[in-house]
Each structure stands twice: as structure tokens, then as C-alpha cells.
């Protein structure tokens, strides 16, 4: 068991509301800078697998809408907020460590 | 008598459910005219020795409303033996329409059915107003038979404009909608559909208009069908609850029309739900009404490796491991304490979509000869062979093959016994292909060929005769498709000729055949030799012949209305 911090961006690299794509262990992840914080989440919408790099739209607050079917997700928890009860978005914990944004993966 | 078409020596599975038999089938002027030992010749003869000859399949749950306008075959329907399709399901139809509401309808199709907007913008010309005029577009221009339901969403927008997604209808507006439904039925609609699924939104995030309708409105519209004794009522209410069945019962009793509801399938996450649904619907039939649950034949299968998979994302440690660099992940998978933690997450009683069972996922493909003996086994079976705990057997095998072993899993439709009971139920109508919809996500044109290949031949959950009945005369009867769905003299010569030893569906693949070269998924068939529509071959071993013998299947009110006129 252990913990890994995987750097995915430099502090200041992303403008507010911007997203960056990252490969983590072969999985495609998006890192977004929203309301002064970084969020990391799967690039694939859990509803019908749309690519959130193309179909994802950051909304006010920490929400992302998949424009394929208008499903919305909370980037903090991954919960599907519209419609409620939909499959959750896979989110990963992003932390600022020094000059870097890292994903904290514990096992 | 000389025939236009003679199908010699096949095993006739006539759609009734009765035992099949070997016979020749003679076709003249688009109809079956003789079945038996036929001596006369024909313009065209098909040797069907060793093959099954059945009525063409009727795909009653499609969203081909737009696609049929640019693709006269509804590709890939004929490749799978489908000769007739019903459009207009889930509250969505392209008619009736008036100037100014076209985009409201498109917004709904784009989101609910995931049809690319560019395809709809370029492929739909809106040269109609009424439902009957919409159907007129297909006369003489289609390869398969088409019919449709009038969708509540278009009806509501027609009566209320954009306010249809904002509020309840007034009494005057409900009367207007009733008039539109009647006009659609007299124009040939086979029934009406509605959508109350709280997950179904438009492109702009607003609910589809039918979700704003209350029972008074919807029942009033259904009364149009009830008063004239015509048409089916197709519904989607979202996740099924017990109170839904009270609603279906009330609707069925009030209208005495066939009610269709979605949907019924075995899910490992709710393994008893299907049984509860069948128990809940039985009293409706016992009381003398019809409320058929729609069920799919295609298991929701995922193929995965431990190099790249998402199916464990609901479990925090599993999820984190799957995002780690592969070499670190492999070390973690080999660690006994980590394995204990991983198994602990699966043992947690928290409700998840993943079934958390080792007797369901199977080993599909291995890369080392010594592991070949595990192919086709479940992980539980493999663990027993190796005398290991399942998690150890699973991860040891994956590690032994550099995480490249391919596993098979089905969260839905993977319990053979449950699926057998569901598919055999007299209260179940098989088929939710959704053809024409969700085109970037999948393609289930092969729901019929999968029924015949997977469930009849491989799993033997029902006889070929029962399955063909479920694909043909059963939907024809419910939808009132007169003269179709059976192989009998006088019936339309809509015929599928297939090899019961090989028939099945291929995996979906990408194509760029939608308007503006937009892409979508298509699915080819195996073992479907010929598809014949109204006596004309349209599919010859997977190749479309270019013939367009399809007809518009209009409902009984159309015929009455025309006769009265």
C-alpha cells in the first residue's frame, strides 16, 4: 500500500475556466482550473462515453455539463447533478504541491 | 401458376410459434401465395436447403424518423432480417410540425436520442406539416416498410410553441392537441408515444415538452385512441417504480389499448427488479388489459484489461490503482495487503452498479499458451482450477500476462436464467433496438439476430419457433400491422432467409454514412442470407440490391378516414 503524487500541471499554467488533457496510467484525464482550485476528472462522460474534452462545458461553480445529453456533474464529488442519480463522473483528488498540481493516488 | 419468387426447400418458421416444417414458399405480386410442395417455376428461385425461412422481423422500437429520410433501408436493419420498422417512439416524432417549432423538435432528438445535429440539420427538409404528410415522404422511396407513432413532444410544441417546455397546458391547448393526435391517426400513425423520463432533456437543458404534461392532458390525448379503438400507447417513464404499474393499469383500463412500457432487463445491481416488474404487470393482464414491458436481447457487455478499464471506478482503491503508472500498478497488484484492501471494497455492502461478483466476469482472451485452459471460464471457475482465492487468481493471471489478458463482463443481461424467463414471458415485447439513435455510442440493429444466435442457439432459452414469433407476429399483432408477421398465403411476402447454425450479429463498427459525412456506428449480421420485402429481395448476403419495395404501414384510422372521404 502507498501513495503517489503525480504532477499534471504547473501552477499558473491554466487560466481560470481552462482545461488540460493528461494521460494517467493510460487513462485520459482532464484537469480544470475553476474558482481558484484545480480539479481532475475522467475525460469520458459516464452516461454515453462522450469525450468531455469536446463535449464538456464548465459552468458557474464547480459544475461541468456534457453537451451530448446535458448531463451535469459536480467536479468536487463527481455526483451527477442533472439528472440527479445519474452515474457519477470519475474524479481524482488534485493538490497544489509547491509549483505543481499533482493528483494524489492512494492505495 | 408461375411465381415471381420461389424459396425452395427451407424450413418454414411461420411466425405463429407452431412447429416449423420443410416446404417451398411461392410469392406472387408481393404476397405469399402458396406454401408446400411447389412444382411450378418462378422468375427467381432461392435454394433455401438447410436454411430457415421466416417472416421478416418487425423492429417496433426505432428512432429512424430522420434516418429513413436519407437512407431508404434504415441501414443496417435489412442486414439483420428486419423488413418493417416503427418510428416515433419515446415521445419523439418529426410531425406534426408548423413553422417555428422545427428547432424545438430537433433539440429534443439531438439530446434524448443522441443524433448528431449536423445530420438532422442537413438531412431533414421539413416539407410536411401533418403526420400523414410526413409519412407521404416515404411512399415509393423506401426499401423496408415504415410506420410510426405520433410523438407527444411534437404535438405539445405544435399546440403551445416554446411554452410547451415551461408550463401546464390550458384546456384549449389540450383540445388542440387532441385534434392533432386525431389528425395524425387519420394520417396513418400506428399510435402515440410519450416521454416522462426525468433524465430526458433538450439540447438547452430544458425538459422535453411531454414531461410538463400532467395525467389529465396525457389521458385526454390517449382518449382519442380509445374512442376510436385504434393504436398503441408507448411510454417511457424513467426508472420503474411500483406506482408506475398502477398508472399503466389505469391507462390500460381507461383506453383498452395496448400499453408499452420501458423497460425490463436483468441487472446484476438490482437482480430481482425484473421479477418484481413481471409480478407487478401480471395483474394488469389478468384483469384483461395489455401492458407489455419492452426488453432488450443485447447484454451490456464490456471487454476490459487491467491495463485500461473503468469498471472498477466505483471503488476508491481500485480506481486509484487504474490511474497509476503501469509499473507501479503492477507492483501494487502483487502486494498481499493491497489485494486484501481491494477485496474489502468488493465485500462492502454499499450499493454499486458493478455486481461485485467473481462468477460473472470471464476470461475472454489470453496471451500465453499455458493460460489457454482458462478461456471462457469465469474468474470464480479459474480460481477453483488454480486453488486460489478469486482476487488472487484474477490479479495473478493479469500480472502473468503483463495486464493484457482480456476479460468479459456484463452488468446487464448477463444472467442467462433470468434473461430466459424475461424473454419467454408473454408480458414482454422483445426489442428496444433504438435504431437510428445513440449513433455515436453503439448500434443494436442486431437485437433479432442476437436473439437467434445467443439466446436460441447458444443458450437455448427458447425454441426457434418461439423466438421468430416474438420477432414477427407478436409485434405485428400488438401494433395492428394487418397482413404482416406470418408466412401464410395472403400475407405480405416480407421474409428472412437465414442459417440457424450461424445467424448472429457482428460487433458494431464505425461508418461515415450520415449526412455531412458525420460518423456513426453500424452493425453487420452473420448468416442472414436474404431479406425480402413485399416479394422483392433487398438484401442478398449483406449486399443491398438497390430495390425499394417498402410500403408505408398506416394504421386503421387512415383506412377508415380514406374510405369515409
User: pLDDT of B509-532, one tens digit each?
Assistant: 999 999 999 989 999 999 999 999
User: pLDDT of A28-57, one tens digit each?
Assistant: 999 999 999 999 999 999 887 889 998 889
User: pLDDT of A10-27, one tens digit each?
Assistant: 999 999 999 999 999 989
With CA atoms as reference, report the closest residue to A43 among A60, A70, A66: A66
Q: What radius of gyration, in Å, describes the C-alpha atoms of chain A?
A: 13
CA dist B338 and B332 (Å) reads 6
With CA atoms as reference, report the closest residue to B87 among B559, B556, B553: B553
Contact B131/B95 with Cβ under 8 angstroms?
yes
CB contact under 8 A, A27 and B323: yes
CB contact under 8 A, B310 and A42: yes
The pLDDT of B109-126, averaged and rounded, is 92
Grid cell, residue B375, equals 478461456
Q: What DSSP designation does B143 have?
A: S
Q: What local confidence, expressed as pLDDT, does residue B205 receive?
A: 78
CA dist B162 and B424 (Å) reads 43
CB contact under 8 A, A27 and B112: no
The pLDDT > 90 percentage for chain A reads: 72
CA dist A101 and A20 (Å) reads 12
Contact A31/A53 with Cβ under 8 angstroms?
no
Minimum CA–CA partner of A1 in chain B: B338
Contact B4/B26 with Cβ under 8 angstroms?
no
The pLDDT > 70 percentage for chain B reads: 100
B239 has pLDDT over 80: no
Distance from CA of A96 to the nearest CA of B (A): 18
CA dist B466 and B231 (Å) reads 25
Q: What local confidence, expressed as pLDDT, does residue B489 receive?
A: 98
Residue B1 pLDDT grade (very low, low, confident, very high; cuts 50, 70, 90): low
Q: What is the mean pLDDT of chain B?
A: 95
User: pLDDT of B408-456, one tens digit each?
Assistant: 998 888 888 999 999 999 999 999 999 999 898 789 999 999 999 999 9
Q: What local confidence, expressed as pLDDT, does residue A34 receive?
A: 93
The pLDDT of B334-361, averaged and rounded, is 92
Q: What local confidence, expressed as pLDDT, does residue B479 receive?
A: 98
Residue B165 pLDDT grade (very low, low, confident, very high; cuts 50, 70, 90): very high
Contact B393/B245 with Cβ under 8 angstroms?
no
CA dist A18 and A34 (Å) reads 8
Residue B543 pLDDT grade (very low, low, confident, very high; cuts 50, 70, 90): very high
Q: What local confidence, expressed as pLDDT, does residue B257 receive?
A: 98
The pLDDT of B290-308, averaged and rounded, is 92
B372 has pLDDT over 80: yes
Q: What local confidence, expressed as pLDDT, does residue A70 receive?
A: 80
CB contact under 8 A, A42 and B325: no
Contact A77/A29 with Cβ under 8 angstroms?
no
Distance from CA of B219 to the nearest CA of A (A): 26
B334 touches chain A (CB under 8 A): no
User: What's the ipTM?
Assistant: 0.90
User: pLDDT of B61-78, one tens digit each?
Assistant: 999 999 999 999 999 999
The residues, ordered by sequence, that sit 6+ positions from A54 with a Cβ below 8 Å of its Cβ are none
CB contact under 8 A, A24 and B323: yes
Q: Worst-scoring range by mean pLDDT, B239-243, B292-296, B455-459?
A: B239-243
Q: What local confidence, expressed as pLDDT, does residue A84 receive?
A: 78
B565 has pLDDT over 90: no
Contact B535/B31 with Cβ under 8 angstroms?
yes
- Give the DSSP H or E segment for B70: helix B67-70
Q: What local confidence, expressed as pLDDT, does residue B369 receive?
A: 98
Tell me which chain B residues have a C-beta less than 8 angstroms from the C-beta of A28: none
CB contact under 8 A, B338 and A107: yes
Provide the β-strand partners of residue B185: none
Phi and psi dihedrals of B529, rounded to 5?
A: -75, -45
Contact A67/A59 with Cβ under 8 angstroms?
no
B48 has pLDDT over 90: yes
Q: What local confidence, expressed as pLDDT, does residue B59 receive?
A: 98
User: pLDDT of B385-411, one tens digit each?
Assistant: 999 999 999 999 999 999 999 999 988
Residue B114 pLDDT grade (very low, low, confident, very high; cuts 50, 70, 90): confident
With CA atoms as reference, report the closest residue to B198 among B181, B187, B210: B210
CA dist B535 and B491 (Å) reads 10
The pLDDT of B253-261, averaged and rounded, is 98
Closest by Cβ to A48, choosing from B114, B198, B321: B114
Amino acid at each position: 500500500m502507498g501513495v503517489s503524487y503525480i504532477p499534471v500541471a504547473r501552477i499558473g499554467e491554466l487560466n481560470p475556466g481552462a482545461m488540460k488533457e493528461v494521460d494517467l496510467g493510460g487513462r485520459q484525464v482532464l484537469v480544470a482550473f475553476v474558482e481558484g482550485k484545480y480539479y481532475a476528472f475522467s475525460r469520458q462522460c459516464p452516461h454515453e462515453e462522450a469525450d468531455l474534452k469536446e463535449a464538456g462545458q464548465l459552468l458557474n461553480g464547480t459544475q461541468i455539463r456534457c453537451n451530448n445529453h446535458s448531463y451535469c456533474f459536480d467536479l468536487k464529488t463527481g455526483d451527477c447533478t442533472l439528472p440527479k442519480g445519474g452515474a457519477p463522473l470519475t474524479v481524482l483528488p488534485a493538490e497544489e504541491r509547491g509549483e505543481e498540481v499533482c493528483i494524489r493516488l492512494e492505495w | 401458376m408461375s411465381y415471381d419468387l420461389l424459396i425452395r426447400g427451407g424450413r418454414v418458421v411461420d411466425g405463429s410459434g407452431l412447429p416449423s416444417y420443410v416446404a417451398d414458399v411461392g410469392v406472387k405480386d408481393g404476397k405469399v401465395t402458396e406454401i408446400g410442395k411447389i412444382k411450378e417455376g418462378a422468375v427467381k428461385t432461392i435454394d433455401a436447403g438447410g436454411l430457415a425461412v421466416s417472416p421478416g422481423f418487425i423492429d417496433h422500437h426505432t428512432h429512424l424518423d430522420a434516418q429513413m429520410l436519407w437512407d431508404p433501408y434504415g441501414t443496417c436493419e435489412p442486414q439483420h432480417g428486419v423488413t418493417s420498422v416503427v418510428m416515433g417512439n419515446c415521445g419523439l416524432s418529426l410531425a406534426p410540425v408548423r413553422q417555428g417549432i422545427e428547432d424545438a423538435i430537433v433539440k429534443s432528438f439531438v439530446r434524448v436520442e443522441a443524433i448528431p445535429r449536423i445530420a438532422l440539420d442537413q438531412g431533414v427538409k421539413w416539407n410536411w406539416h401533418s403526420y400523414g404528410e410526413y409519412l407521404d415522404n416515404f411512399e415509393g422511396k423506401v426499401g423496408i416498410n415504415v410506420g410510426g407513432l405520433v410523438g407527444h413532444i411534437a404535438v405539445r410544441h405544435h399546440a403551445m410553441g416554446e411554452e410547451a417546455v415551461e408550463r401546464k397546458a390550458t384546456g384549449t391547448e389540450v383540445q388542440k392537441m387532441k385534434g392533432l393526435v386525431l389528425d395524425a391517426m387519420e394520417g396513418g400513425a400506428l399510435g402515440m408515444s410519450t416521454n416522462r423520463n426525468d433524465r430526458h432533456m433538450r439540447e438547452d437543458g430544458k425538459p422535453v415538452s411531454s414531461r410538463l404534461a400532467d395525467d389529465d392532458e396525457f389521458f385526454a390525448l390517449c382518449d382519442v385512441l380509445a374512442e376510436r379503438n385504434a393504436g398503441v400507447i408507448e411510454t417511457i417513464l424513467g426508472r420503474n417504480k411500483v406506482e408506475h404499474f398502477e398508472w399503466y393499469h389505469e391507462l390500460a383500463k381507461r383506453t383498452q389499448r395496448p400499453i408499452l412500457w420501458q423497460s425490463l432487463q436483468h441487472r446484476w445491481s438490482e437482480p430481482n427488479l425484473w421479477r418484481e416488474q413481471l409480478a407487478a404487470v401480471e395483474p394488469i393482464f389478468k384483469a384483461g388489459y395489455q401492458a407489455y414491458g419492452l426488453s432488450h436481447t443485447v447484454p451490456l457487455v464490456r471487454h476490459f484489461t487491467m491495463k485500461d478499464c473503468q469498471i472498477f471506478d466505483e471503488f476508491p482503491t481500485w480506481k486509484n490503482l487504474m490511474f497509476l503508472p503501469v509499473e507501479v500498478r503492477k507492483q501494487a497488484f502483487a502486494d498481499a495487503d493491497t489485494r486484501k484492501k481491494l477485496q474489502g471494497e468488493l465485500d462492502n455492502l454499499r450499493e454499486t452498479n458493478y455486481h461485485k461478483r467473481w462468477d460473472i466476469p470471464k476470461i475472454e482472451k489470453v496471451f500465453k499458451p499455458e493460460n489457454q485452459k482458462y478461456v471462457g471460464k469465469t474468474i470464480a471457475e479459474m480460481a477453483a482450477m488454480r486453488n486460489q482465492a478469486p482476487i488472487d487468481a484474477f490479479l495473478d493471471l493479469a500480472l502473468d500476462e503483463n495486464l493484457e489478458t482480456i476479460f468479459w463482463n456484463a452488468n446487464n443481461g448477463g444472467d442467462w436464467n433470468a434473461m430466459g424467463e424475461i424473454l419467454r414471458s408473454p408480458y414482454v415485447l422483445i426489442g428496444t433496438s433504438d435504431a437510428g439513435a445513440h449513433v455515436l455510442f453503439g448500434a443494436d440493429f442486431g437485437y433479432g439476430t442476437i436473439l437467434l444466435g445467443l439466446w436460441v442457439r447458444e443458450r437455448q432459452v427458447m425454441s426457434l419457433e418461439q423466438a421468430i414469433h416474438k420477432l414477427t407476429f407478436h409485434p405485428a399483432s400488438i401494433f395492428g400491422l394487418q397482413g404482416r408477421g406470418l408466412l401464410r398465403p395472403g400475407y405480405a411476402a416480407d421474409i428472412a432467409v437465414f442459417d440457424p447454425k450461424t445467424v448472429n450479429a457482428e460487433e458494431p463498427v464505425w461508418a461515415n454514412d450520415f449526412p455531412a459525412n458525420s460518423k456513426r456506428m453500424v452493425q453487420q449480421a452473420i448468416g442472414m442470407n436474404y431479406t425480402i420485402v413485399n416479394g422483392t429481395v433487398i438484401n442478398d448476403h449483406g449486399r443491398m440490391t438497390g430495390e425499394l419495395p417498402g410500403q408505408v404501414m398506416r394504421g386503421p384510422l387512415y383506412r377508415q378516414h380514406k374510405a369515409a372521404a
